[in-house]
Homo-oligomer: A and B are copies of this chain.
Amino acid sequence: MVESRRDRLRAATMREISETARRILVDQGPEAVTLRAIARDMGMTAPALYRYFDSHGELLRHLVGDIFTELTEELHRDIKTVPDGDLSGKFLAASRCFRRWSLGHRREYALLFGAPLPGFGHKEQADFAEECARRFGRTFLALFLELWHKRRFPVPPDEEIDPGLREQLRRYRDEALAVDLPLGVIQQFLQCWVRLQGGVSLEVFGHLDFALDDPEPIFELTMIEIGQGLGLEYSPPR
């Protein structure tokens, strides 16, 4: 049997649950995404949702996966708007897209990148959400590696890397990435990623409000500095 009537209904209900959860998240924040609220909005009762998800947490993890996917798609869309030759432009576009999306979806951001909730350890995340997160990560990594292959920005030789770090980088490269690269490239990637996501996190959570109403110029300064390390041509936004 390929596509029974029940299968179709089930898939539709699944979709409706996701959409409803998503809408509540956007409208009322993460703590309002309760089973009862979702069910209420759908004209159902809460226990019925257990036919679709094992627990509240798993429903949230599924939601996380959806959001990661949406973010990743938006990133790819923005990257594609830059002509293929312009790698600097693509890198800038991706970074700015990530920041823009994050600031425009603070509650989703909190769910994806905030403090890990209880029983939500970012480690034992559901396969689905985990895979979505990985694809998100690969988006930036792919850009970075393309940059390395085509432009060869300067990186420290393996021998000059802190021994403790070197071993970790080697493991990550060989086990997770399975590519042939100097370890310095991975180190550089991680440093850039920390600056990018670290800065965005602070902004999203309002931890620069004590001094700035609009931290965009600070973000752009960061982009300039990162770009210098990678030999990129900087061009202002818009």
Interface string of A175-213 (1 = CB under 8 A from B): 010000000001100110011011101101111111111
- Is A76 engaged at the interface, CB distance under 8 Å to the other chain? no
Instruction: Please state if B195 and A118 are interface contacts (CB–CB under 8 Å).
Output: no
List of B residues within 8 angstroms of A212 by Cβ:
165, 168, 172, 190
- Is A7 engaged at the interface, CB distance under 8 Å to the other chain? no
Instruction: Please state if B116 and A206 are interface contacts (CB–CB under 8 Å).
Output: yes
Stretch at the interface among A61-69, A81-89, A215-223: A215-223
- Is A227 engaged at the interface, CB distance under 8 Å to the other chain? no
List of B residues within 8 angstroms of A204 by Cβ:
115
List of B residues within 8 angstroms of A222 by Cβ:
191, 194
For A, the interface residue count at a CB cutoff of 8 angstroms equals: 53
Bound-complex Cα distance A116 to B114 (A): 10
Tallying the copies of this chain within the complex gives 2
List of B residues within 8 angstroms of A199 by Cβ:
194-195, 198
Instruction: Please state if B114 and A205 are interface contacts (CB–CB under 8 Å).
Output: yes
List of B residues within 8 angstroms of A113 by Cβ:
205, 207
Instruction: Please state if A176 and B210 are interface contacts (CB–CB under 8 Å).
Output: yes
Closest B residue to A110 using CB positions: B115
Q: A114-B205, A165-B217, A214-B168 are in contact. Are A195 and B197 (CB under 8 A)?
A: no
Q: List 22 A-B contacts (CB under 8 A).
A: A31-B117, A31-B118, A113-B205, A114-B114, A114-B115, A114-B205, A115-B204, A122-B209, A123-B206, A123-B209, A165-B218, A172-B211, A176-B210, A176-B211, A187-B221, A190-B211, A190-B212, A191-B221, A195-B195, A195-B199, A197-B198, A197-B207
